[in-house]
Amino acid sequence: MASLPKPIATVAWRPLRTADVPYVAALEAQIHVAPWTPGNFRDALAAGYSAQVGEREGRILAFGVMMLAPGEAQLLNLSVVPDARRQGLGRALLSRFLQDALRMGADQVFLEVRVGNTPAIALYEDAGFVRVARRADYYPPDASGLREDALVMRRELSPNFR
Ligand SMILES: CC(C)(COP(=O)(O)OP(=O)(O)OC[C@H]1O[C@@H](n2cnc3c(N)ncnc32)[C@H](O)[C@@H]1OP(=O)(O)O)[C@@H](O)C(=O)NCCC(=O)NCCS
Protein backbone atom coordinates (compact mmCIF):
# COMPACT_ATOMS: atom_id res chain seq x y z
CA MET A 1 0.00 0.00 0.00
CA ALA A 2 1.36 3.47 -0.85
CA SER A 3 2.33 5.48 2.21
CA LEU A 4 0.37 8.62 2.95
CA PRO A 5 2.15 11.92 2.38
CA LYS A 6 3.45 13.57 5.54
CA PRO A 7 1.30 16.41 6.90
CA ILE A 8 2.89 19.76 6.30
CA ALA A 9 2.61 22.23 9.14
CA THR A 10 2.71 25.66 7.63
CA VAL A 11 3.78 28.36 10.01
CA ALA A 12 4.62 32.03 9.75
CA TRP A 13 8.18 32.65 10.90
CA ARG A 14 8.98 35.86 12.73
CA PRO A 15 11.43 37.18 15.32
CA LEU A 16 10.80 36.34 18.97
CA ARG A 17 9.46 39.39 20.80
CA THR A 18 9.79 40.33 24.47
CA ALA A 19 6.03 39.88 24.80
CA ASP A 20 6.38 36.22 23.70
CA VAL A 21 8.86 35.37 26.44
CA PRO A 22 6.46 34.15 29.18
CA TYR A 23 4.63 31.88 26.71
CA VAL A 24 7.78 30.58 25.05
CA ALA A 25 9.45 29.98 28.42
CA ALA A 26 6.39 27.99 29.49
CA LEU A 27 6.70 25.83 26.35
CA GLU A 28 10.42 25.51 26.99
CA ALA A 29 9.71 24.22 30.52
CA GLN A 30 7.48 21.49 29.07
CA ILE A 31 10.03 20.49 26.43
CA HIS A 32 13.46 20.54 28.08
CA VAL A 33 14.94 18.80 31.13
CA ALA A 34 17.02 21.89 31.98
CA PRO A 35 14.91 24.64 30.43
CA TRP A 36 15.93 28.18 29.68
CA THR A 37 14.31 30.62 32.08
CA PRO A 38 12.39 33.71 30.96
CA GLY A 39 15.51 35.65 31.96
CA ASN A 40 17.64 33.54 29.60
CA PHE A 41 15.32 34.42 26.71
CA ARG A 42 15.30 38.10 27.66
CA ASP A 43 19.11 38.11 27.91
CA ALA A 44 19.33 36.51 24.44
CA LEU A 45 17.09 39.25 23.02
CA ALA A 46 19.05 41.97 24.80
CA ALA A 47 22.29 40.54 23.43
CA GLY A 48 20.89 40.70 19.90
CA TYR A 49 20.92 36.97 19.24
CA SER A 50 18.83 35.70 16.36
CA ALA A 51 15.63 34.37 17.92
CA GLN A 52 12.74 33.05 15.84
CA VAL A 53 9.30 31.63 16.38
CA GLY A 54 7.01 29.75 14.03
CA GLU A 55 3.36 30.56 14.57
CA ARG A 56 0.14 29.14 13.20
CA GLU A 57 -3.28 30.59 13.97
CA GLY A 58 -1.77 32.61 16.81
CA ARG A 59 -0.10 29.60 18.43
CA ILE A 60 3.68 29.30 18.62
CA LEU A 61 4.70 25.80 17.47
CA ALA A 62 8.46 26.20 17.18
CA PHE A 63 11.18 28.48 18.44
CA GLY A 64 14.93 28.76 18.50
CA VAL A 65 17.88 30.97 19.31
CA MET A 66 21.23 31.34 17.59
CA MET A 67 24.22 33.41 18.68
CA LEU A 68 26.32 35.02 15.99
CA ALA A 69 29.99 35.72 16.55
CA PRO A 70 32.61 36.82 14.03
CA GLY A 71 33.02 34.01 11.54
CA GLU A 72 30.83 31.50 13.34
CA ALA A 73 27.46 30.92 14.90
CA GLN A 74 26.29 28.79 17.81
CA LEU A 75 22.82 27.29 17.77
CA LEU A 76 21.63 27.61 21.37
CA ASN A 77 18.04 26.44 21.24
CA LEU A 78 15.81 24.65 18.74
CA SER A 79 12.42 23.44 19.91
CA VAL A 80 9.18 22.19 18.41
CA VAL A 81 6.08 21.55 20.53
CA PRO A 82 5.36 17.82 20.85
CA ASP A 83 2.14 17.76 18.82
CA ALA A 84 3.78 19.50 15.84
CA ARG A 85 6.88 17.29 15.54
CA ARG A 86 7.85 15.24 12.48
CA GLN A 87 6.21 17.74 10.17
CA GLY A 88 9.37 19.46 9.02
CA LEU A 89 9.33 22.43 11.40
CA GLY A 90 12.63 21.61 13.10
CA ARG A 91 14.34 21.20 9.74
CA ALA A 92 12.76 24.42 8.42
CA LEU A 93 13.83 26.48 11.43
CA LEU A 94 17.33 25.02 11.36
CA SER A 95 17.59 25.88 7.68
CA ARG A 96 16.50 29.46 8.40
CA PHE A 97 19.21 29.77 11.03
CA LEU A 98 21.86 28.37 8.67
CA GLN A 99 20.82 30.86 5.99
CA ASP A 100 20.94 33.70 8.55
CA ALA A 101 24.38 32.61 9.76
CA LEU A 102 25.68 32.54 6.20
CA ARG A 103 24.16 35.93 5.44
CA MET A 104 25.84 37.38 8.54
CA GLY A 105 29.23 36.11 7.39
CA ALA A 106 29.61 32.91 9.42
CA ASP A 107 31.45 30.06 7.77
CA GLN A 108 30.60 27.48 10.40
CA VAL A 109 27.89 26.71 12.94
CA PHE A 110 28.37 24.82 16.20
CA LEU A 111 25.87 23.31 18.60
CA GLU A 112 25.76 21.06 21.65
CA VAL A 113 23.27 18.25 22.05
CA ARG A 114 22.68 15.55 24.65
CA VAL A 115 24.15 12.23 23.52
CA GLY A 116 20.80 10.57 24.17
CA ASN A 117 18.79 13.03 22.10
CA THR A 118 18.31 10.76 19.10
CA PRO A 119 15.70 12.91 17.28
CA ALA A 120 17.84 16.05 17.46
CA ILE A 121 21.04 14.24 16.46
CA ALA A 122 19.21 12.69 13.50
CA LEU A 123 17.96 16.11 12.46
CA TYR A 124 21.41 17.69 12.74
CA GLU A 125 23.17 14.88 10.88
CA ASP A 126 20.53 15.03 8.17
CA ALA A 127 21.30 18.76 7.89
CA GLY A 128 25.02 18.13 7.44
CA PHE A 129 26.33 18.56 10.99
CA VAL A 130 29.17 16.27 12.02
CA ARG A 131 30.28 15.22 15.50
CA VAL A 132 33.48 16.99 16.50
CA ALA A 133 33.77 16.41 20.26
CA ARG A 134 32.10 14.90 23.30
CA ARG A 135 31.96 16.72 26.65
CA ALA A 136 31.64 14.30 29.58
CA ASP A 137 28.93 15.03 32.18
CA TYR A 138 28.26 18.36 30.52
CA TYR A 139 24.61 18.74 31.45
CA PRO A 140 23.33 19.33 35.00
CA PRO A 141 21.88 16.31 36.84
CA ASP A 142 18.33 15.35 35.87
CA ALA A 143 15.57 14.34 38.34
CA SER A 144 17.31 11.01 38.95
CA GLY A 145 20.63 12.72 39.62
CA LEU A 146 22.27 11.57 36.39
CA ARG A 147 24.39 13.85 34.26
CA GLU A 148 24.59 13.45 30.50
CA ASP A 149 27.42 13.98 28.04
CA ALA A 150 27.14 16.56 25.28
CA LEU A 151 28.05 16.03 21.67
CA VAL A 152 29.54 19.05 19.98
CA MET A 153 28.49 19.20 16.35
CA ARG A 154 29.68 21.44 13.56
CA ARG A 155 28.34 22.38 10.15
CA GLU A 156 30.49 24.15 7.59
CA LEU A 157 28.73 26.79 5.54
CA SER A 158 29.49 27.70 2.00
CA PRO A 159 27.66 30.17 -0.22
CA ASN A 160 26.01 27.41 -2.22
CA PHE A 161 24.93 25.13 0.62
CA ARG A 162 21.47 23.67 0.28
C1 LIG B 1 14.62 17.83 17.71
C2 LIG B 1 13.35 18.54 17.24
C3 LIG B 1 13.59 20.05 17.21
C4 LIG B 1 13.01 18.06 15.82
O5 LIG B 1 11.90 18.82 15.35
P6 LIG B 1 10.86 18.22 14.29
O7 LIG B 1 10.04 19.35 13.77
O8 LIG B 1 10.14 17.07 14.86
O9 LIG B 1 11.85 17.69 13.13
P10 LIG B 1 11.51 17.51 11.57
O11 LIG B 1 10.11 17.07 11.40
O12 LIG B 1 11.92 18.75 10.87
O13 LIG B 1 12.49 16.31 11.21
C14 LIG B 1 13.60 16.49 10.33
C15 LIG B 1 14.44 15.23 10.38
O16 LIG B 1 15.01 15.04 11.68
C17 LIG B 1 15.04 13.65 11.99
N18 LIG B 1 14.15 13.37 13.11
C19 LIG B 1 13.32 14.25 13.70
N20 LIG B 1 12.68 13.64 14.73
C21 LIG B 1 13.11 12.36 14.76
C22 LIG B 1 12.80 11.26 15.57
N23 LIG B 1 11.91 11.33 16.58
N24 LIG B 1 13.44 10.11 15.34
C25 LIG B 1 14.34 9.99 14.32
N26 LIG B 1 14.66 11.01 13.49
C27 LIG B 1 14.05 12.19 13.72
C28 LIG B 1 14.59 12.94 10.74
O29 LIG B 1 15.73 12.75 9.92
C30 LIG B 1 13.66 13.96 10.13
O31 LIG B 1 13.47 13.80 8.76
P32 LIG B 1 12.21 12.92 8.22
O33 LIG B 1 11.01 13.36 8.99
O34 LIG B 1 12.16 13.28 6.78
O35 LIG B 1 12.57 11.50 8.52
C36 LIG B 1 12.14 18.19 18.16
O37 LIG B 1 12.08 16.79 18.31
C38 LIG B 1 12.21 18.83 19.53
O39 LIG B 1 11.78 19.96 19.71
N40 LIG B 1 12.76 18.09 20.53
C41 LIG B 1 12.83 18.60 21.88
C42 LIG B 1 13.78 19.77 22.00
C43 LIG B 1 15.19 19.37 21.58
O44 LIG B 1 15.68 18.31 21.94
N45 LIG B 1 15.85 20.27 20.84
C46 LIG B 1 17.21 20.09 20.39
C47 LIG B 1 18.13 20.45 21.49
S48 LIG B 1 19.83 20.43 20.94
Does the predicted TM-score (pTM) go above 0.85? yes
Q: What is the mean pLDDT of residues 6-30?
A: 91
Domain-located, residue 119: yes
The answer on pLDDT for 5 being more than 90 is no
Please give the tally of structural domains in the chain: 1
Can you give the CATH number for the domain in which 103 is found?
A: 3.40.630.30
Q: What is the pLDDT of residues 80-108, one digit of tens each?
A: 999 999 999 999 999 999 999 999 999 99
Domain-located, residue 45: yes
Domain-located, residue 4: no
Domain-located, residue 2: no
Nearest Cα residue to atom 32 of ligand 1: 86
Q: What is the pLDDT of residues 44-92, one digit of tens each?
A: 999 999 999 999 999 999 999 999 998 999 999 999 999 999 999 999 9
CB of 90 closer than 6 angstroms to any ligand 1 atom: yes
Domain-located, residue 162: no
Domain-located, residue 3: no
Q: Which of 23, 55, 72, 112 is catalytic?
A: 112
Segment 143-152 long-range contacts (CB within 8 Å, at least 24 positions apart): 143/33, 148/114, 148/115, 148/116, 149/114, 149/115, 150/112, 150/113, 150/114, 150/115, 151/112, 151/113, 151/114, 151/115, 151/121, 152/110, 152/111, 152/112
CB of 125 closer than 6 angstroms to any ligand 1 atom: no
pLDDT of the residue at 142: 84
Domain that holds residue 125: 12-156
